[in-house]
Structure 1
Amino acid sequence: MRIEGDKTTAPRRFPLTSVQRAYRLGREDEQPLGGVACHMYFEFDAATAPDPKRLETAYQRLQDRHPMLRAVFPTEEDGVLHPQPVDEVTVHDLSGSQQDSTGTLTRLREDLSRRRSDAARGPMMDLHLSLLPGGGSRLHVDVDLMAADPPSIRTALNDLAEFYGHGDLPPLDYDFPQHQRQYGRQEAERREHHAASADQAMNGTDLTPPRLPMAQAPNTTSGARFQRRTLPVLPDEWHRIRERASRAGVRPETVLYATYAHTLERWDEGRQFLLNVPVFDRPRLHSGIDRIVGDFTRLLVSPVTTSDADSLQELVNAAQATDNTLRREHDAPTVQAVVEAAHRRGEAAPELGAVYTELTRPWTSELFTQCFGALSWMVTQTPQVWLDCLTYPQDEGVCMAWDTVDELFLPGVLDGMAEYCSTMLTAFADRDWRNPPPNGLPKAQRATRDRVNNTRAPQSSLLLHERFFAQAAVEPEPAALLHDGHALSRGELAERALRLAAFLGERGVDKGEPVGICLEPGPEQVTAVLGVLAAGGCYVPVGPEQPVLRRNHILDTAGARFVIAERPTDTGEPEGDGGSPDITRVSPTEANNHRPLDRPVGVEPRSLAYIIFTSGSTGSPKGVEIEHRSAANTLEDLNERWGVGTEDRCLTVSALDFDLSVYEIFGPLMAGGSVVVPTVDEQRDPDAWLRLIHGHRVTMWDSVPALLDMLVSAAETPDTGNAANPGTSGEKGVDLLRSLRLVLTGGDWIALDLPDRLRRLAPSCRFVACGGATEGAVYSNYFEVDSIGAEWTSIPYGVPLRNQHYRVVDPQERDCPDWVPGELWIGGAGVARGYRNDPDRTAERFRESDSVRWYRTGDMGRYRHDGVLEFLGRMDHQIQLHGYRIELGEIEAALSSHPDVSRAVAVVSGEGPQRRIVAFLQPAGKTANLDTVRQLARRWLPDYAWPSDYFVLSELPLNDNGKVDRKTLTAWALPEREPAPHEPPHTGTEEALAQEWTAVLGDVVSSRHQNFFDLGGNSFHAMRLASAITRRFGLRVPLRQLQSAATLAGMAQAVDEAARDAHAPEATRSASQAAT
């Protein structure tokens, strides 16, 4: 049957392929990344212009030969062929002026490269001819891929040249609509094969595209503008690649796929992803199938995992295996099959926006080049695609072209990827394939990393306490410590510490020996720290409120023979079945009448200064050993960087066993300043902090963000001072905090509004966000916040401090490119010696590389393009909660030790202030006694690690790999608590207090018997509640009293008793009014 030249006047309809339907739907404006046509635009430049009339004739004959070039697509189901050619060549005569021609050519490129024809009206192919000064020309060709896939475009271009150069071609007796009618009968069978291959290929694979660093989600934009990046492989380089590929027994084009896939993997967050691979499958249903124009595209899906490849050869082998699967078409899943597989799994359909297309033949024939010139520029646009890689032969070499939606990506990402891709191609051409792939960074990124990490300075030789004692000897009069209305001068504090040091020395404390300190905040605690160091020892802080079993473990692991403590129980005496270490208690008052040392015992800067125990994943805390020189390096840098001196005073609000206390104490003391130490009752009272800051003109603050937020919130509350303490006469917060000039905060997420809130209250205060780890000697990085960037989602982590360095590494320990998440490694002078008496965990987390000692933090972060770090959270099951690093494994180990519990899993539920720990228990028998489980948790764990909720499950849910399904458990961790006996609040005080509970916990309180801590409260929440009670009732209720009361009724009783104990009718009336 003759098709060419068919003069039938009636339009012919034909069914669309699934790909054509996707193109038709995807181009609509309302579609994510829609508003563009799927099309290719080309420019061909010739020194001698073709004849326009002759070109017009050739173009008419081309449309006559290939009916798909005169197709339109009025619906998403059918196409229509017009009986006659539907388009003409548009000629632009620009030969008169070079300047005019340049501007017009730019506008033409802008318009045609972004062309979106009316699918219902056409045309699907558009030709423009620009006649240029000097007799040359540019042929502009735009083809919609609904009508013609890339091989069909090649056919059309070459047929155009044949019609122009030779005038005729043999007729065709087959066309695409005919093919569609034949092929449709096989489509159902092929879909079944692809569905099966999709289920098999996707088993255990995340159904996601590459998670590349993006500035905005792809589904938030429409009408995208594509930019082209060209990566040419020159003939000699391509020749070497082909030779090596031949020796390796692989197709040379496989090297191009391997290069692209591996580049994506280096920038991918998950390092396992799906790649959209179009193939142009022409079933052999007719002998003339290769000569017709149409869209034979099949969108196949290739799972990519290249990170395990240790050599270039392994990369190519993996790519060749994928290539073989794609060539066995029935074995490869299609995009449509993958979407359907996702739906069967109850998941959202993946947005496969990264594409790899391989063409093995040049775009044009020699005749086309003679007639119309050589390809000078081209671009591809595709809806729902944001990174389209196209490879094709060019000038005896190969061109790898990337068409990208640049606006979606973060700065520098695409340029860095393209540079790395070029580096990979060069490696395949020049390296022995047994060598590993290049693992370096793009040059500009490497230079920026080197610059921000160039922090080298002379290493500190100071001891942590050295400057304080030296200044006390020379100038003893200035105040060093202020507490509860009293002041200790430098000389007095030094003398007390040296008395204690002498006493410890006589009791046998040796140089470097650990000595426990288990004291409440106060002058005795600071004296003990200085005294232990002056004796040549290292101090081991142990919180007095720590459970006895945990306290025992800390002192035993540290190897402490002495502990400075007020109460005998603070030495770790037995509780229940917990054993007691052989430890001698030293009372802080025992040395009061002892003769002081003349000077501190001399030790080396390499000696240990302190051992702080942090949460451990195996269920037991691990002791971080910090040397004097490491801590002094950090503190000296902080002091010099922000000019800390003799006039500075710092309020100490961090617990001694939390490493921020190191700077709170030693930062000001080593600079000649002083510390303001709250009483026990003031330690967790934000209103008391305000009073202390205002009364003592405190200039420095250093804490986790949660405590700083409490301070700011208290200052923002009207008449805070008057309610908390009449002595402040109700000054506004701007007066109460005016003395602050420097705030350091770190250890947890910082709310974006916190710097501006603080600045409104303390206009001259500098806000510095810090980060690091206990294993990095307090802080390792900083970022001073001047203003909040509109694009920020969090406060940046910053850059390294002096003599400290940062890497962001992937699981293969390669440096991650800019914006790519990886594990944060801290290196340099601040890194700890290791974990006390734990060589295995020390070897796991610490390592030497290129003469630098590194600590693997387990934190996730990334470098921005300007060299600034961003913190992204934990990479394992360790969490940060209110500034405390908590290993969920420690909680699980503690709960699993209960005889009723077979296995325990802890997860985190909620957001922001409502984040809480939830425990799921699989019982050893039929059930578990939750009361005794809670008791066990409170014996073993600090209060900030107590689970808020407990759920008993007969079996824990498992994922496909047989592991506990933590995602499911996290979803189940929504509040469904055992109800307390329901009895609504009775009194006005209970009703008012219930409102404050709701504000602090985010939960509605319905019963007066509900327990504050069972509802998710912890010590930080209790601090907020105490401050709220002070503001609402005008009364101060000690924090410990609230924690002991626990229930709504009990706390309300404590408030009422505090009102009565005030012996002030006005206070009682105030409480009554606040309740109503």
Structure 2
Amino acid sequence: MDISRLEQAWNTLVRRHAELRSVFTPDGRQQFLPSDQTVLHVPHTQLDATTAPEAVNQELDTLRDRLSHRVLDPGRWPLFTVEAVTYHQLGQQRTRVGIGLDNIILDGLSMMIVFSELEELYRDPGASLPERELTFRDYRVQVEPSDTQLRADRQYWQERLDSIPPGPQLPTLVDPDTVTQPRFRRWQRRIPAETWKAALQNARHLGLTPAVVLLSSYAEVLGRWSTSSEFSVNVTLFDRQEVHPHIDRILGDFTSLLLVEIRTRPGDTRGVRAIRLRDQLASDLEHRSVSAIWVQRELARRRGAVAGASVVFTSGLGLGTAMSLDPGPGFPDRIWGISQTPQIWLDHQVSQTPDGELVIQWDAVEGLIAAEAIGSMFDEYARLVSAIADPGWADSRPGLPAASASHLAQPASSPQGPVSIRGESSPVAEAGKPRPGVESTVARIWEELLGSTGIDRVADFFGLGGDSLVATRMVARVRAEVGIELSLREFFADPTIAAVAATGMGPHGGQMQAGTEDFEEGEL
């Protein structure tokens, strides 16, 4: 690998993206430095062919150990790290590159953009990259929730503070407060593409997004190992609001956290649990202008102790199929990775490869929870994810093998009445072209967001390739352009153009209609 060419590509990115030139002042403000003050030099260690294999391995281990748990000073540039070691193995010259990125400036999609553009610039230093008229600073200055929305959302969470449970009480080896310099270890598994495709079909039949069925399985495992079956999980949201055509080309940290309650009821099937979780998420997402950080501070103030959830769920599904964290053929293979987050015990991450495999990984603090326990939890989770593909998954009950329990289970009801499952009989709108007026306007919005044309008025939004990140944008545009006050929960209940238009004309019935294509999602 040509390190000088790699360095040139990085510096082109630094000049292009002000976000890569940012630092933070002591009072927390993000500051963007001029490009002539931010020239990156890539440290490059070169080992000749006579270097002993033991010395080579030691150098590579040192690189990994040094970069994997480096904590960067947010006040000093750069807030990312690139280093390289060239060595010889089996008669061939090889290069290992270590890259560390700080989430304070880059979210998941931003990292994908960085690697995609880096690969293109390495292959062709003169490559013409997509135009971008917006910066992260522009976005933050312009996009703020209204005072009315902020008050309503705070009221929503204030009314729930007394009932929100703490994080899962997992078996720890030591007092978490004694872990002052945490080091993380990763567990990773790949679910075959065919298995994941079948799981998506089962989820779609119930009107569930991929991340909801994964979160439900994650919560099931946590519940088995926690001392309480009621707990909260921090869910990462990727919330780039559709304020500019170039919004998906800029870098920045667009993430926020949502504190999600996990409550189980005896006799619930896995399908019922997932549907209840979906409905809870839909309600919570309507009030996401207030982050989990604010909620946890209020909880600490009210309860006199830190009551946050130390377990995180992050889904990278639906962030884009054209980009990936995996490098292209012009780069070395990605062979190892780790993430570290302050005050977090366990971080769940999931993504999908271009060929359809599902990649699940857990990063956990070493020495806090026994490695054997984490390993057992992870193996159990991987089995549960694979079991979603089984035809009897929805009717199976936790504690029984998903593949064998379907004949024992019957759909359960909540105190508020039965949980609706997509696919049950309900009034169905007539198929055909969108009708003039509201339906035509909604159809145009769908076409612009989904990149499709000629959408039927009863076509399923998620079956057309939509996800709940795009659904959030769609709801916002429908409110702005049509004046319909549509909630995400209402939309999830019937994701069709006809149902959206009917919302503006009064109450309407109907369940979600089964889609015909696979779908992905990023934000829950």
Fold equivalence (TM over 0.5) = yes
2:357 alignment partner in structure 1:
397
CA contact (8 A) 1:312 1:437 kept: yes
CA contact (8 A) 2:161 2:299 kept: no
CA contact (8 A) 2:83 2:98 kept: yes
CA contact (8 A) 1:309 1:315 kept: no
Q: CA deviation at 1:229?
A: 0.7
Q: CA deviation at 1:404?
A: 0.5
The answer as to 2:58 corresponding to 1:103 is yes
3-state SS in 1 of match to 2:85 = strand
CA contact (8 A) 1:70 1:82 kept: yes
Once residues 119 and 147 of structure 1 are traced to their aligned partners in structure 2, the CA distance between those partners, rounded to angstroms, is 10
Match of 1:80 among 15, 26, 31: 31
The answer as to 2:211 corresponding to 1:253 is yes
CA contact (8 A) 2:234 2:292 kept: yes
CA contact (8 A) 1:70 1:86 kept: no
Supply the AA of the counterpart residue of 1:63: V
Alignment of 1:28-427 (within 5 A): 49=1, 51-84=2-35, 85-94=38-47, 96=49, 97=51, 98-133=53-88, 134-166=92-124, 167-184=127-144, 186=145, 189-206=148-165, 208-306=166-264, 308=266, 310-325=268-283, 328-330=285-287, 334-342=291-299, 345-360=302-317, 361=319, 364-365=323-324, 368-394=327-353, 395-410=355-370, 412-427=372-387
After superposition, give the CA deviation of every residue in 1:147-184 in whole Å (9 maximum; x if it has no partner): 11111111111111122223231442221122222235
Once residues 48 and 311 of structure 2 are traced to their aligned partners in structure 1, the CA distance between those partners, rounded to angstroms, is 41
CA contact (8 A) 1:59 1:88 kept: no
1:510 alignment partner in structure 2:
none
Once residues 322 and 290 of structure 1 are traced to their aligned partners in structure 2, the CA distance between those partners, rounded to angstroms, is 28
CA contact (8 A) 1:65 1:172 kept: no
3-state SS in 2 of match to 1:239 = helix
3-state SS in 1 of match to 2:347 = strand
Once residues 412 and 102 of structure 1 are traced to their aligned partners in structure 2, the CA distance between those partners, rounded to angstroms, is 27
Alignment of 1:921-1070 (within 5 A): none
Once residues 233 and 95 of structure 1 are traced to their aligned partners in structure 2, the CA distance between those partners, rounded to angstroms, is 40
CA contact (8 A) 1:197 1:330 kept: yes
Supply the AA of the counterpart residue of 1:371: G
Supply the AA of the counterpart residue of 1:116: V
Q: CA deviation at 1:54?
A: 1.5
CA contact (8 A) 1:68 1:294 kept: yes
Return the TM-score normalized by structure 2.
0.69
Supply the AA of the counterpart residue of 1:192: R
1:1002 alignment partner in structure 2:
none
Change (3 A) 1:227 1:190: farther
After superposition, give the CA deviation of every residue in 1:74-105 in whole Å (9 maximum; x if it has no partner): 31421221212242222233462444332222
Supply the AA of the counterpart residue of 1:384: Q
Q: CA deviation at 1:410?
A: 4.1
Supply the AA of the counterpart residue of 1:108: L
> Which structure has the highest strand share of the two?
1
CA contact (8 A) 1:89 1:128 kept: yes
CA contact (8 A) 1:210 1:268 kept: yes
After superposition, give the CA deviation of every residue in 1:1049-1076 in whole Å (9 maximum; x if it has no partner): xxxxxxxxxxxxxxxxxxxxxxxxxxxx
Once residues 116 and 331 of structure 1 are traced to their aligned partners in structure 2, the CA distance between those partners, rounded to angstroms, is 29
Change (3 A) 1:73 1:288: same
Supply the AA of the counterpart residue of 1:145: N
Once residues 431 and 176 of structure 1 are traced to their aligned partners in structure 2, the CA distance between those partners, rounded to angstroms, is 45
3-state SS in 1 of match to 2:104 = coil
Which is greater in Rg? 1
Once residues 348 and 311 of structure 2 are traced to their aligned partners in structure 1, the CA distance between those partners, rounded to angstroms, is 8
Q: Which has the higher contact order (CA 8 A, sep 6+)?
A: 2
After superposition, give the CA deviation of every residue in 1:836-865 in whole Å (9 maximum; x if it has no partner): xxxxxxxxxxxxxxxxxxxxxxxxxxxxxx
Once residues 63 and 222 of structure 1 are traced to their aligned partners in structure 2, the CA distance between those partners, rounded to angstroms, is 33
CA contact (8 A) 1:94 1:130 kept: yes
3-state SS in 1 of match to 2:293 = helix
Alignment of 1:491-570 (within 5 A): none
Supply the AA of the counterpart residue of 1:107: T
1:1061 alignment partner in structure 2:
none
Unaligned runs of 5+ in 2: 402-524
Supply the AA of the counterpart residue of 2:268: D
CA contact (8 A) 2:348 2:361 kept: yes
Unaligned runs of 5+ in 1: 1-48, 442-1076
Supply the AA of the counterpart residue of 1:382: T
Aligned residues: 389
1:902 alignment partner in structure 2:
none
After superposition, give the CA deviation of every residue in 1:1031-1064 in whole Å (9 maximum; x if it has no partner): xxxxxxxxxxxxxxxxxxxxxxxxxxxxxxxxxx
Alignment of 1:795-944 (within 5 A): none
Return the TM-score normalized by structure 1.
0.34
CA contact (8 A) 1:59 1:89 kept: no
Q: CA deviation at 1:107?
A: 1.4
> What is the aligned-residue identity percentage?
26
Once residues 366 and 325 of structure 2 are traced to their aligned partners in structure 1, the CA distance between those partners, rounded to angstroms, is 34
Once residues 94 and 189 of structure 1 are traced to their aligned partners in structure 2, the CA distance between those partners, rounded to angstroms, is 62
Once residues 88 and 393 of structure 1 are traced to their aligned partners in structure 2, the CA distance between those partners, rounded to angstroms, is 33
3-state SS in 2 of match to 1:198 = helix
3-state SS in 2 of match to 1:381 = coil
Q: CA deviation at 1:68?
A: 1.4
Supply the AA of the counterpart residue of 1:235: A
Supply the AA of the counterpart residue of 1:111: R
Once residues 322 and 70 of structure 2 are traced to their aligned partners in structure 1, the CA distance between those partners, rounded to angstroms, is 21
After superposition, give the CA deviation of every residue in 1:342-380 in whole Å (9 maximum; x if it has no partner): 256344332321000110146945994122144322111
CA contact (8 A) 1:389 1:402 kept: yes
Change (3 A) 1:113 1:378: same
Once residues 138 and 360 of structure 2 are traced to their aligned partners in structure 1, the CA distance between those partners, rounded to angstroms, is 34
After superposition, give the CA deviation of every residue in 1:890-915 in whole Å (9 maximum; x if it has no partner): xxxxxxxxxxxxxxxxxxxxxxxxxx
Once residues 192 and 27 of structure 2 are traced to their aligned partners in structure 1, the CA distance between those partners, rounded to angstroms, is 42
CA contact (8 A) 2:134 2:246 kept: yes
Change (3 A) 1:411 1:382: closer
3-state SS in 2 of match to 1:412 = helix
CA contact (8 A) 1:271 1:307 kept: no
Q: CA deviation at 1:199?
A: 2.3
CA contact (8 A) 2:213 2:274 kept: yes
